[in-house]
């Protein structure tokens, strides 16, 4: 839990000024059984719900997280990260990990991790054609200005395409 995470960080770093940045789902009440940040005052020095989490990375010395992608964002910004779960970026020698992942035996550079996480592993969709493409081609499309047309039309086409895939997958797994 978030409270337990904060307690562990406080025990490890008793003199640190701990800032708890609530996940937007937590603030919106979309996570059942979660407590709003007011309940975190005993374990943190400051609990915040406003602002972009990336802005907070500029003022912190270290990020402690269970599995949040903010840890990945922190690594990219050269902020040290301590993980208490097994996010995709843990176990490669770039983070201080409280859990061990025996499968991850080799060390990666930050460049290798970013390449794998953003270029090699994911599949990207060309919003104009609806076809799968590479990260490089999507980047070129977005930076060339070709994507500057009716963004709402592209958005609706993309959502429609995702809905179609979801319906097809649901039918395959739940026939009848």
pLDDT digits (tens, 9 = 90+) for 158-169: 666 666 666 666
Strands annotated E in the chain: 19-21, 46-48, 63-65, 81-83, 96-97, 124-125, 132-133
pLDDT digits (tens, 9 = 90+) for 42-73: 677 777 777 788 888 888 999 999 888 899 99
pLDDT digits (tens, 9 = 90+) for 26-44: 766 666 545 555 556 567 7
Q: What is the pTM of this model?
A: 0.72
């Amino acid at each position: 839990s978030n409270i337990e995470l904060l307690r562990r960080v406080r025990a490890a770093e008793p003199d640190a000024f701990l800032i708890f940045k609530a996940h937007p789902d937590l603030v919106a009440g979309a996570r059942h059984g979660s407590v709003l940040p007011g309940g975190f005052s005993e374990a943190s020095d400051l609990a915040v719900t406003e602002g972009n989490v990336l802005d907070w990375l500029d003022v912190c010395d270290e990020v402690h997280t269970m599995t949040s992608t903010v840890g990945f964002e922190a690594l990219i910004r050269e902020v040290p990260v301590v993980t208490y779960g097994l996010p995709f970026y843990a176990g490669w020698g770039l983070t201080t990990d409280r859990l061990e992942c025996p499968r991850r035996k080799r060390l990666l550079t930050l460049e290798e991790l970013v390449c794998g996480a953003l270029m090699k592993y994911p599949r990207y969709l060309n919003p104009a054609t609806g076809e799968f493409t590479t990260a490089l081609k999507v980047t070129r499309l977005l930076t060339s200005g070709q994507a500057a047309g009716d963004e709402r039309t592209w958005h609706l086409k993309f959502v429609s395409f995702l809905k179609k895939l979801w319906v097809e997958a649901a039918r395959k797994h739940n026939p009848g």
